[in-house]
Every structure is written in C-alpha cells, then in structure tokens.
Amino acid sequence: MLQFAQTAEQIGATGSTLEKGRVLAEYLSTLQSDDLSRAVLWMSGQPYGRSQRYRLNLGWKAIAQAVSELSDLSSAELSALYLKHSDLGDWGQEALAGRSGGEQVSLGEIAAGFDAIRLAKSAAQKQRCLQALLARLEPLQVKYVLKILSLEMRIGMQEGLVEAALARAFDVPLAAVQRTHMLTGDLGVTALRCQVGDLEKGELQLFQPVRFMLASPVETAAEAFARMRTPVLWTEEKYDGVRCQLHLSRDGRCELFSRDLKETTAAFPEVVEAAAGAGHELLIDGEILAHRGDRVLPFSQLQRRLGRKLVSRKLRLEAPVVLVAFDLLWLDGEPLLDLPLAERRRRLEALGLAWPFLLARLEDAADPPHLDQIFAETRERGNEGLMLKDPQSPYTPGRRGLAWLKLKRPLASLDVVVTAVEWGHGKRRQVLSDYTFAVRTEDGRLLNVGKAYTGLTDREIETMTKHFLAQTISEHGRTLVVKPEVVLEVTFDALQRSNRHRSGYAMRFPRIVRLRPDKPASEIDTLGRVEELYSRYFEREVPLAEVATGPGLAEAAAEVAGEDSAGDGR
Ligand code: AMP
C-alpha cells in the first residue's frame, strides 16, 4: 500500500497529464493481476469495479468517527483541521500525523479490509472494521485509503488517463483499451484484459452492464441540424423517468441496471415478470416511467419506487411502471452495437413486446422549422423535450457524442435570494461556492427552495466570497448564514415536492444563470410562483397514448389498464 500511496502522491503533485500517465504506467507494469485491477480502480476513486456491483455503505460519519478515535486531537481541533482541508484524506493524514510507524500492508490486505467493512451489518461495526484497518497504517497510507473510501482521489486521474496508462504499461492500442472499457464499464476488468492481451473479445456479455450512450445538449433546432449533419433526424420523446438497461436470457433470467450501472431489478418486478416470457435473449435500453391507465404519472410517483429492495402490492398498484424501450443492443446471441440505429429499432419493433413494454415515440424531422414544431407539440403534451438521434449511428456506450442530442429548453427561471453559503470542495475549498437560496412568501418571509453550485465563473465566486464573508450573520461549521441580499437567477430541470427545504419544494439540477445585482431581494419570485410552476409542469400527468407507438401495444395497454382498475376496485 505504501507504494500505491507514494505513486498517487507523485501523480497528484504533477500538473502534467503526460507525466501522470507515465508514473502510473510504470507502477502498473510492476503489478500482478489482482493488485493490478485494485490499483487502477483505486487510482480512479473506486473501491470496487462496476461489474462487482458492491457497495460499501460506509457513511461519512463512521469515517470521521474512526479517525477521531485514533487521533490524539480534541474534537474542536479535528473540526478546525477539517475546515482547513475540506478533504477526508488530507484531514485523516494530518489528524493521525506523527503516529508511530505502520505495518507493511499489501493491497490484498487493504482489499480484505474493504470487504470486512462492506460485509459488516451496522454502521458501528463498519466503523470498527475501518478503525482496525487504519490502525495498521501510517498517515500517508491512511490518506489514500480514506480518499478511496470517500470515492474521490482528487489527484487529477480521470478514467481517460488511466486508459492511456494501461495502453502504455502493456503496450496495447489505446483504442482497444477504450473499447473494452466502454463495453465492460469496469476499469479493473479492462486492466486484466490488457495484461493478458485479451482485448479482442471485448464484446458485450449479457448480465455485465454496459455503459449507457449519452446525448449532447443543443439549444436550438438549427444547431441540432448543424451538428448532426444528417438529412433526416429522428426525434424521440424525452421521457422524464429513469434510465434502465434490461438484460434477459432465454430461460427468463432478467436483471435491470440504472444509469450508474447499479442493479435495480428488485424495484420493478412487473417489468421483470413480463420480460421472463419473451423467449429471447435481449439487452434493451430504455426509460422507466410510472403510469396509470393512459397517463404517465409525475416523477414524484416514480420516486417512490426507486431504490426499493421489495415493492409491496399496494405500491405496485399505486405507482405501476412501464419500460419505454428505445434501443436494442443484443438479440439472441448477437451484439447489435455496430448496426445503425434504424436497424436496431427495426429489430426492437419486430419483437412485438407486450405491456409493460412500450416503444419510444418516434418522428422524423426534415428541417429546423419542422423540428421546432415537433418540439412545441411535445412540450404541449407536458414532456421535457426531445432526444434527437442519427438513424445511421452505432451505439457508443459511455460516449456523449453528436449521434444523440437532447433539445430541452429550461422551463422557467426563478429569481431567488441567497440565504446561506458553504465552503466548496477540492479546488474550491478556499471559496464560498455553494449557495442555498430562497423565494419569498406574500407576507415577506423567506423560504429556502434549493442549493446550487454551478453557473458562476471563478472570478464571480471569488468576488462573492469576499462579499459573503462581510455579510455573515452566523457560522455553523462549513456553512455561513448570510444577510439575504444577493439575488440570483436560477434555472432547473424540474421541481419536486420535498421536505428538504422549508418551502416544501426542491429543484432537480439547479444551476445559476446569472447574478442579478439590479434586483432587490424584495422583488424576488414568490412561493406562489413556485407552486404555479409545479402544478403547471410537474404535477401534470402526460398522456400515455403519445408514448406507445408499438404495433398492438395500445390495445394491450387498454386491456391491462382495464384489469388494473378492476383489481383495484376502482
Ligand atoms: P439528461 O438526463 O438531461 O442528460 O438526458 C438524458 C436522459 O434522458 C437519458 O439518460 C435517459 O434517461 C433520458 N431519456 C428519456 N427519453 C429518452 C430517449 N427517447 N432516448 C434516450 N434517452 C432518453
């Protein structure tokens, strides 16, 4: 572990990506297989590879507690030290500085320590396992173990650089490393294949989640045509649900994965049950939506299903789901990634999948005005926007290229006032970069509605830091409550009901559009406006008829909807 920590330290110390790659490649080339896969994963801040599907479930509190038990410092000293670093690893290293020498601990022993933490049943047990592991290490090793456990190395080692280092260490083509990584989604597996020169069979495997293809944002219809350069552009409805990858074997084994490749099979039993009878080997890419009858339910209903290990019959009836399929990556033993989208879609439609499977609504757009019209129609139906796809494009996992674009204009922006600010992390730990903001009630009270940390330039943040320090009312650890004077315009993807903030609402993906020095806090938007936006756009149910275009699906939907309401007693 010492060598790992020293290598990480060396990588973090240089700003040159070339040098980072060289140092890592040199280190990786000395490692045996198990250590190799651990080292590449840990260097990119992942305790486990994605294909292992493990979660540590180790809270920040347990980590902090373990360090403080081992440290001689008082809790006030530890807090002050944390404020200085804003990084668990750097903090742990200094908190335990000067402790007498650690043991020589191998990467395998550290991995065994991670397993013990993962398998421990309670938070207290996890903390004890971590403490036992840290007690054996010297401060530099502690630093990197904590960084791995907090899933952030902060040494500027993005996955792309690890790929390059692997290519260099094992003298294999970078493109082959990238493709294997793209398909397996797992750097550890990729590293092992590089080591044994097994990059050719870098093909898809059922039940190994594949990274999702992503879309680049565009602002206007004209920009979409300019960027995609295809005579006809496919438009699909952009559904507001959660991404889902379905793997199915012919004998009915079925697993589902979320956008971050976590297994979500248990949360959507109706999809799994229906898939089991398909009689095909399939890998489908799609979006899960909550629905009832002929309506897509608001995202808040789908949220009730997310992360569930067990879904009660009651919840199944209250928030039933469908899988809207838009891509097919594997069919009966054949990987389809390299076929054009139009062909993949043809095969997907030919499957004739029944409810709760639907097909994404598809419409060609011939030119920008036509695209604008389709966009207006989808917005009218209550959808967020459109996905635009090149019908000739292959499926490129994990890539955000120009073959898929997304066109979604912000629904609205709100003018809000900053009520509290927080010190940032990493590069931004010296500045106040996280802003909590509020809207006002008719009688002049301020109610928080969100928190944003993107949108302002570094220079603006620097200026605002000085301003907020001068306007601080009180300090609570990393958070400063400030005089409510600074007005921001913020935008967001959606509004949700939530008790996280006092307004009773929260924003999805809030970002700052600009500072509004021209506007006094007394003129910011009101809670009434938030309520109005919420009921206009997000509490709305979207017609399901517009979602299903698959042959025969509409009838199946009607039939099942009938059964549902009969079973429900409605
Ligand atoms: P965004 O989350 O704004 O980056 O948009 C991309 C997400 O939109 C994808 O990850 C999917 O979850 C979702 N999505 C909804 N409809 C589609 C569609 N027809 N094709 C691809 N992605 C879609």
Q: pLDDT digit string (tens) for 389-409?
A: 999 999 988 777 889 999 987
For the chain, give every domain's residue range: 2-149, 214-407, 413-537
Q: What pLDDT was estimated at residue 399?
A: 74
201 among known catalytic residues: no
Is residue 123 classed exposed, middle or buried when 0-12, 13-18 and 19+ CB atoms within 10 A define those classes?
Answer: middle
* CA 259 – ligand 1 centroid, Å: 10
Q: What is the DSSP string of 333-361?
A: TEE-TTS-HHHHHHHHHHT---TTEEE--
CA 122 to chain centre: 26
Cβ neighbours of residue 405 closer than 8 Å, sequence gap 6 or more: 215, 216, 217, 218, 224, 227, 228, 387, 388, 389
| Position 536 confidence tier, pLDDT thresholds 50, 70, 90 | confident
**Residue 492 CB–ligand 1 contact under 6 Å:** no
pLDDT-derived band at 144, boundaries 50, 70, 90: very high
Of all protein residues, the one whose alpha carbon is nearest to atom 17 of ligand 1 is: 238
From 218, 236, 264, 287, give the residue whose CB has the most ligand 1 atoms within 8 Å, as the site to mutate: 287
Q: Is residue 327 in contact with ligand 1, taking CB distance under 6 Å? A: no
Residue 25: enclosing H or E segment and its boundaries? Answer: helix 17-28
Nearest CA to ligand 1 atom 3: 406
Average pLDDT over residues 167-189: 90
- Report pLDDT digits (tens) over 9-29: 999 999 999 999 999 999 999
How many helices (H) does the chain have, and how many strands (E)?
Answer: 21, 22
Mean pLDDT of 447-467: 93
Question: Could you tell me which residues are beta bridge partners of residue 487?
Answer: 417
Strand partners, 328: 284
Q: Determine which of 126-135, 166-175, 216-225, 363-372 has the lowest per-residue pLDDT on average.
A: 216-225
State the Cα–Cα distance between residues 511 and 454, nearest whole angstrom. 5
- Proportion of the chain above pLDDT 90, given as a percent: 62
Q: Is the CB of 387 under 6 A from ligand 1?
A: yes
The pLDDT confidence band at residue 307, using thresholds 50, 70 and 90, is confident
236 lines ligand 1 (CB under 6 A): yes
Tell me the C-alpha distance between 172 and 174, whole Å.
6
Average pLDDT over residues 62-67: 91
Domain 413-537 has CATH 3.30.460.10: no
Instruction: Please tell me the least confidently modeled range out of 18-32, 74-88, 140-154, 457-471.
Output: 74-88
The reported pLDDT for the residue numbered 205 is 84
Beta carbon of 360 within 6 Å of any ligand 1 atom: yes
Is any atom of ligand 1 closer than 6 Å to the C-beta of 238?
yes
Please indicate whether residue 361, judged by its CB atom, sits closer than 6 Å to ligand 1. no
- With a 6 A CB cut-off, is 259 part of the ligand 1 pocket? yes
End-to-end CA distance of the chain: 62
As assigned by CATH, the class of the 214-407 domain is alpha beta
Instruction: Give the burial class of 239: count Cβ atoms within 10 A of its Cβ; 0-12 exposed, 13-18 middle, 19 or more buried.
Output: buried
Measured distance CA(477)–CA(274) in Å, rounded: 51
* Confidence check: pLDDT of 560 > 70: no
pLDDT band at 162 (very low <50, low <70, confident <90, very high): very high
What is d(CA 146, CA 63) in angstroms, rounded to the nearest whole number? Answer: 8
Point out the catalytic residue in the list 20, 126, 143, 238: 238
What architecture does CATH give domain 2-149? Answer: Orthogonal Bundle (1.10)
Residue 63 · residue 128 · CB < 8 Å: no
The reported pLDDT for the residue numbered 553 is 41
For the entire predicted model, the pTM comes to: 0.69
Distance from residue 213's CA to the centre of ligand 1 (Å): 9
Is it the case that residue 522 has pLDDT exceeding 60?
yes
Give yes or no for residue 319 having a pLDDT over 80. yes
Q: Which pLDDT belongs to residue 230?
A: 87
Residue type, 399: R
pLDDT confidence band for 562 (50 / 70 / 90) = very low
CB contact at 8 A, 178 and 119: no
Task: Tell me what pLDDT residue 561 has.
Answer: 45
Confidence (pLDDT) at 100 = 58
pLDDT tens, 212-255?
999 998 888 999 999 998 889 999 999 888 999 999 999 999 99
pLDDT over 80 at 381, yes or no: no
Residue 502 Cβ inside 6 Å of ligand 1? The answer reads: no
Inter-axis angle of helices 159-170 and 33-43, nearest 10: 150
Residue with tokens 């090793």: 141
Return the residue whose CA atom lies nearest to atom 9 of ligand 1: 243
- Between CA 282 and CA 300 the distance in angstroms is 29
Provide the pLDDT for residue 199. 79
User: What is the residue whose two structure tokens read 């110390």?
Assistant: 13
pLDDT digits (tens, 9 = 90+) for 93-114: 999 987 756 778 999 999 999 9
In angstroms, rounded to a whole number, what is the distance separating the alpha carbons of residues 96 and 116?
A: 22
Predicted pLDDT at 547: 52
Mean pLDDT of 19-44: 96
- Distance between Cα 323 and ligand 1 center (Å): 13
- Please tell me the predicted confidence (pLDDT) of residue 292: 83
With a cut of 50, say whether residue 471 has pLDDT above it: yes
Closest CA to 64 of 83, 82, 52, 39: 82
CA angle 304, 119, 306 (to 5 degrees): 10
Which ligand 1 atom is at minimum distance from the Cα of 360? 19
Neighbours of 477 (CB within 10 A): 10
pLDDT of residue 182: 83
| Res 163: pLDDT | 96
Q: Is 72 helix (H, G, I), strand (E, B) or coil?
A: coil
Strand spans (E) along 332-478? 334-335, 357-359, 362-365, 385-389, 400-407, 413-423, 432-440, 446-452, 472-476
Phi, psi dihedrals of residue 227, rounded to the nearest 5°:
-80, -35
Mean pLDDT over the full length of the chain: 88
pLDDT reported for residue 564: 41
Q: Is the pLDDT of residue 203 over 80?
A: no
Res 201: pLDDT: 60
Run of H or E residues at 162: helix 159-170
Residue 116: HSE in the Cβ half-sphere, 13 Å Cα cutoff: 17
Please give the distance, rounded to the nearest whole angstrom, from the Cα atom of residue 243 to the centre of ligand 1. 7
- Average the pLDDT over each of 289-303, 420-434, 474-488 and give the range with the smallest value: 289-303
Q: Distance, CA 554 to ligand 1 centroid (Å)?
A: 23
